[in-house]
Structure 1
Amino acid sequence: MSNNHRTIVIRRPRRAHAAHHGGAWKIALADFMTALMALFLVLWILSTATPSELQGLAEYFRTPLKVALANGDRNSASTSAIPGGGADPAHSDGEQARIDLKRQSRPAEDRARLMELRRRMETVIQEDPALRNVREQMRFEMTQDGLRVQLMDTDRQPMFELGSDRVSPAMRKLLRTLAPLLNDVPNRLSISGHTDSLRYARGDSGYSNWELSSDRANASRRELVAGGLDGSKLLRVTGMGDRVPVPGSNPGDAVNRRITLVVLSDSAARRLQAGSRSDVSDLPSQRVPD
């Protein structure tokens, strides 16, 4: 055998099992599922929100980031060195118009202010022994137009003399107590008078429920002003006669003899001032959840 014989060695690679990749994919999946759950939760909350709440939410997210970080409104969120922006800094369709809109109350802020006003009214009435017994004659409702306060008549304790606009002592004290509270908010005010269906002998040809409801609304206005209400806050004083009875009541019931005060939201006040067809209404169908 030759000493130059070479041994052939065959090397076969070993098949190694794939390395274990750990649990990173589980963390990624958990993050994805958490984000998906949060998305569905937000969608569910939005589906149950009222139109006014949705509008307030939209207004919140319209606030520029730099204004939010500065903890309040600024005259301008623009980076322009020219105040007001545009060719004419004071031009109404430039940035100045957006500044004026920003100074108006957001719907959510307006609603919170009216809810606080309602709480203060109820507290003041409850703490006054002379007014505590008229609390059951008052109805508070948050509507699309603002806070509606209805002062109801009863046969046991009428707020006006029968067939007259002469205010009873209890009604006078109530209105003069509410006046300073109404002054504490910037919102404007609407007053309307209502009567029951009992007609005068001459019907509508003479002094009628139309005049009586108007006179009672104006008598209430005078008592509020005497109590300290700023007269410029009033936007409308009107009489509705017996045309808008309380739902579920008999038109002749005493509960229909009432004065309705509407502390107007900013949007309702603007509609009323502009004479919009979408006017402020006393109809109960406009009630929204508290």
Structure 2
Amino acid sequence: MADEGLRPIIVKRIKKGGGGHHGGAWKIAYADFVTAMMAFFLLMWLLGSTAKGDLQGIAEYFKTPLKVAMSGGSGSGDSSSLVQGGGKDLTRKDGQVKKGDDPEMKKTYNLQAAHLKEAQQELERAELARLRSLKTRIEEAIEARPALRQFKSQLLIDITTDGLRIQIVDEQNRPMFALARAELQPYTKDILYEIGRALNDMPNRVSLSGHTDATPYANGEKGYSNWELSADRANASRRALLAGGMDESKVLRVVGLSSAVLFDKENPLNPINRRISIIVMNRKAEESALKDGSTIEVQAASQVKPDIGSTVAKPEPVK
């Protein structure tokens, strides 16, 4: 019995061979492989079923995505957003069409046109500032010379849609021209000399027009009439401006309008209707005048609102 307590205990350990469990890493690799193969076959299917025009649009989009999205064109789709919409028709060439009863207008962004418009507006603002500066200079020159200051009431200076307009009008006892003739009075020459020097500093072209009242010229219907008289007075004013220093190339038009455009419509015989109108044209009016067969609308002085900063008073009609 004592020998049984000393019997050794034997523990057998069994070592297992290969072929055991390797984990699940192979499943992840296999899934990636299957996904890649699906993506590859999907790409091949899309390339085979997409029209040539769509392929060009897709290629252009990935080259310059922002340009295609904003300017539109082949392959850009119907949406104006940077993210293009979808569509069922894969054979179309000129973008995608949205289904619906009312056709939706396609929005386009023309950056070049926007820059041109902004530049044009800036040029117009700068030109308007120059014309206002010229208006101030002429008014100051008249105020500085006592010989011209007394004729201030006969000078109407305002800014119209065609540019800066300077009108020299008659008064009852102080006409700008000799009676029924195109001969300038000495003080009229002094005024035109001063205006000619000021206009020569501006790059703008000039239009001259002569006006008369409604008093018919003697034998005007058969011979010399108010039409010839107004044209001759406008041309005499042109010569005076040139004598004052204005460059001859600045004159674009010299016309006689007779009594067709009256200053005082209620009183056609009012001396104020006898006047010379000098327009320093803005770029828009100049381009319109240079077009073949174009006409410029001539408005009566009473129909045009003066510039807000105008300080020259309109003379009262002579009774």
Report the TM range for the smaller structure's normalisation.
0.5 to 0.7
Q: Tell me the secondary structure at the aligned position of residue 205 of structure 1.
A: coil
Q: Which residue of 2 aligns with 1:128?
A: 145
Deviation, structure 1 residue 289? 4.1
Q: Which residue of 2 aligns with 1:237?
A: 254
Q: Which residue of 2 aligns with 1:260?
A: 277
Distance 1:207 1:137 in 2: 27
Contact between 2:163 and 2:280, CA under 8 Å: does it hold in 1?
yes
5+ residue gaps, structure 1: 1-94
Which of 182, 202, 212 is the equivalent residue of 1:195? Answer: 212
Contact between 1:165 and 1:216, CA under 8 Å: does it hold in 2?
yes
What percent of counterpart residues are identical? Answer: 40
Q: Superposed, which structure 2 residues align to 1:108-147 within 5 Å? A: 108-147=125-164
Contact between 1:215 and 1:239, CA under 8 Å: does it hold in 2?
yes
Distance 2:237 2:213 in 1: 17
Which of 221, 226, 236 is the equivalent residue of 1:209? Answer: 226
The aligned amino acid for 1:253 is N
Distance 1:249 1:184 in 2: 38
Contact between 1:268 and 1:280, CA under 8 Å: does it hold in 2?
no
Contact between 2:155 and 2:166, CA under 8 Å: does it hold in 1?
yes
Q: Which residue of 2 aligns with 1:28?
A: none
User: Could you list the per-position Cα deviations for residues 208-251 of structure 1 after superposition, in whole angstroms to 9, with x for gaps in the alignment?
Assistant: 00000000000000000011110101110000001111145411
Q: Does 1:161 align with 2:173?
A: no
Deviation, structure 1 residue 203? 2.9
Distance 1:179 1:185 in 2: 10
User: Could you list the per-position Cα deviations for residues 189-223 of structure 1 after superposition, in whole angstroms to 9, with x for gaps in the alignment?
Assistant: 00000001111221322100000000000000000
Pair 269,137 (structure 1): closer, same or farther in 2 beyond 3 Å: same
Aligned length: 193
The aligned amino acid for 2:289 is L
- Structure 2 length normalisation: TM-score? 0.57
Distance 1:126 1:144 in 2: 26
Pair 238,106 (structure 1): closer, same or farther in 2 beyond 3 Å: same
Pair 172,266 (structure 1): closer, same or farther in 2 beyond 3 Å: same
Pair 237,105 (structure 1): closer, same or farther in 2 beyond 3 Å: farther
Runs of 4+ deviating beyond 6 Å = none
- Structure 1 length normalisation: TM-score? 0.62
Q: Tell me the secondary structure at the aligned position of residue 147 of structure 1.
A: strand
Deviation, structure 1 residue 103? 9.1
Contact between 1:105 and 1:266, CA under 8 Å: does it hold in 2?
no
Q: Which residue of 1 aligns with 2:243?
A: 226
User: Could you list the per-position Cα deviations for residues 39-91 of structure 1 after superposition, in whole angstroms to 9, with x for gaps in the alignment?
Assistant: xxxxxxxxxxxxxxxxxxxxxxxxxxxxxxxxxxxxxxxxxxxxxxxxxxxxx
Q: Which residue of 2 aligns with 1:29?
A: none
Bigger RCO (CA 8 Å, 6+ sep)? 1
